[in-house]
Structure 1
Amino acid sequence: MARRPNSLTEEDFESLEGRASKTEQKKAVQRMAALGAQLAELSAKQIKNLPVDERLIEALLDVQAISSHEARRRQFSRIGKLLRNENETVILSYLTPKQGLKKTAQLQRWVDRIVKDGDPAINEFTKTFNATERHTLRQHYLRVHRDLKNQAAEEEVNASKLKLFNYVQQVALISDN
């Protein structure tokens, strides 16, 4: 059987840029499930006041009544999938009081340092927060730098930095446990 000539072009790779691999998607669901576990620790009243889909609220309330380890794991996996459809910033704003303003300021300094220094700061952050996936963090960093290099609109740069901050905040919340 003859091999097909390599017909992939630069445009083909550019169209894939920004897409997450299956592994990254699975790890994102695991991160969201860990965030879901922290959301489940909120009181029933706080959960009911969350500005999220009704199915997610029901799932969070249901998990509090489940005692079987395997059933809880499956429920948190489901919660992680439901959280993918929600606004990360809103979810994190409900969990931020658990961290405190001092911790949030520290995480913002980490983001500024990562944007400024690159790989050395990424390596140090990875050592400090054990839940960090270096590849994902580096992808966020590269997106910010790409936007800065291409002199993208300020909104795009700020959106990239916000995604980086959200990731850093998620990792810090998960690593604290």
Structure 2
Amino acid sequence: MARRTQRFTEDDFESLEGRASKTEQKKAVQRMAALGSQLAELPKKKIEQLPVEERLIEALLDVQLITSHEARRRQFLRIGKLLRNEDETMILSYLTPQQGLKKQAQLLRWVDRMIAQGDPAIKEFMKMHKAAEHHAIRQHILRVQRDIQKNLGEDAIAESKQGLTNYVQQVALISENS
């Protein structure tokens, strides 16, 4: 029996634009789990003050009591899934003071440089930060550049640039502790 060829329209591809693949979703959970492990290292008082869901606070406090390696790994994956529902910028604001103002300013310069220069700057950033993924950075940069080209306004451009900034900060935090 002959196989029927399926014709895709431009609308089919536009509906998929901006949607993360399964692999990207899994890597995002792994990044969030790594951030969760750093959150779990915070003092108990600071964890209790986090403006997040109660389930996440309980999970962060529970992981401090778990001694089995495998159980801790699973708990961090759970924390990563819970973190997906939270505001990344707020979570990073609790972790970035550990980096210091100089490092934060340096990361913001990297963001601007990668937007302006593209692949050469991305490759250089990836050499310094082993947790970085070329595809993810490239997608964030393309979103920023698309918003600039379409003249969507300062709010839309700032929002897409904040997504890139959040990713760069996550990668820097993970790379420092690896």
TM-score tier (shorter)? over 0.9
Q: Could you tell me how far 1:7 is from its partner in structure 2?
A: 1.6
Match of 1:22 in 2: 22
Aligned length: 177
Match of 2:4 in 1: 4
> What one-letter code is carried by the residue in structure 1 that aligns with 2:118?
G
Match of 2:92 in 1: 92
Pairing 1:23-172 to 2, within 5 Å after superposition:
23-172=23-172
Which structure 2 segments of 5+ residues have no match? none
After TM superposition, where is structure 1 displaced by more than 4 Å over at least 4 residues in a row? none
Aligned mates of 2:140, 2:25 — CA distance in 1: 14
Q: Could you tell me how far 1:5 is from its partner in structure 2?
A: 2.6
What is the TM-score when the length of structure 2 is the normalising length? 0.98
Aligned mates of 2:4, 2:156 — CA distance in 1: 39
Aligned mates of 2:124, 2:164 — CA distance in 1: 16
Q: Could you tell me how far 1:141 is from its partner in structure 2?
A: 0.5
SS of aligned partner of 1:6: coil
Q: Could you tell me how far 1:2 is from its partner in structure 2?
A: 1.8
Q: Could you tell me how far 1:153 is from its partner in structure 2?
A: 1.4
> What one-letter code is carried by the residue in structure 1 that aligns with 2:76?
F
Aligned mates of 2:99, 2:27 — CA distance in 1: 22
